[in-house]
Amino acid sequence: MSSVIHPVPTAPPGNALVQSVRDSLVVAQRNLIRMSRIPEVILFGLLQPVMFVVLFSYVFGGSMQIGGSTSAADYRNFLIAGVFAQTVTFATAGAGAGIADDMHKGLVDRFRSLPMARGAVLTGRTLADLVQTALTLLVLAVVALLVGWRVGSHGDTNAGKVVAAFALLLLVGYAFTWIGALIGLSVRTPEAATSGGLIWLFPVTFISNAFVDAGNMTPWLRHIAEWNPFSAVVQACRILFGNPGVSQSDAWPMAHPVWASLIYSVVIILVFRTLAVRKYRSAA
C-alpha cells in the first residue's frame, strides 16, 4: 500500500504579511497566557522598579542638587522619568531569558517545524513583553504619585503630552526587547541571558542624566552621557511630563530629545530585529 503525503498548506504569497501578523498575535497570546500562570515573575518584575522609586526618593532625595535646589520634592520629580526609562530598558533581560528558555526546552525547534512566519516567534514574544512592560509602568506611575511625583511641577504639560511620554517609553522598551531577543538566541541558558541582558544596562543607565545632572560630570563623561540614547529618552520624558530638567547642553540629542529618542528607537528595532530574525533562522 502506498502512502500519500499531503503537503503542508501555506499562505499565498500575497497574504504573507497577514499571515505574519496573525502568527505573531498567536505567539503573543501564548506567551501572555504563560506569564499569567507564573504570577511571581510579574510580581518580582514590579517590585524592583518600585524599590528604586522609594529608595532613591527617600534615601537620596535630600542630598541631591537639581538646578541649585536640594529639595527632596524637586529631586523626586527629577528622578521619576529616569526610573520609568530604566524600567522599560530592563525588560531586555526578561525578553532574553524567555527566549533562551524556549530555546533550551526545544520549543523554538517545534515552532520552526510549523508552517508559520519565521519572525512571528520573536515578534510575538516581544509583543507579550511589551504588554508586561505597560502593566509595570502603570503600577509604577501609581506608586510615583503616592510618593509625591507630580506632572507639570516645573513646566507646562497636558494630558496629551503625558500620554505621549508613556507611548515613547513603551516604544523604547519594545526596541530594547529586540536586543534581549538577540542575546537570548546567542546564549545557551536562561541564566546567561539574564546576566547578558543586565550587565551592559547598568553603565548605560547610570552614565546618563537619569539620576544626576549630567552637567555636573567631568567633561569627557558628560559628553558620553549626553549622547547616550538612554539620556535622550529621560530628557524627552521630563519635558513631556513638565518635570525638572538638567543643565543646558549643545549636544543635539539633549536639544531635540523627543526626535532623538524616536530615531534611536527605530534604528534599534530595524538593526536588532534583522539580526535576531537572521539568528533565529540559523539557530540549531
- pLDDT tens-place string over residues 167-184: 999 999 999 999 999 998
Inside any domain, residue 5: no
pLDDT at 102: 78
Inside any domain, residue 8: no
pLDDT at 85: 94
Q: What percent of the chain has pLDDT over 90?
A: 31
Inside any domain, residue 26: yes
pLDDT at 100 over 80: yes
pLDDT at 67: 63
Report the number of distinct structural domains present in the chain: 1
Please tell me the distance from the alpha carbon of residue 188 to that of residue 247, in angstroms, as a whole number: 44
Please tell me the distance from the alpha carbon of residue 17 to that of residue 85, in angstroms, as a whole number: 32
Mean pLDDT value of segment 233-237: 94
Inside any domain, residue 1: no
Mean pLDDT value of segment 106-128: 79
Mean pLDDT value of segment 198-203: 89
Inside any domain, residue 57: yes
Inside any domain, residue 178: yes
Inside any domain, residue 186: yes
User: Could you list the residue range(s) of the whole structural domain that residue 253 is in?
Assistant: 16-282
Inside any domain, residue 111: yes
Least confident of 40-44, 143-147, 188-192: 40-44
Residue 46: alpha-carbon gap to chain centroid:
14
Please tell me the pTM assigned to this model: 0.86
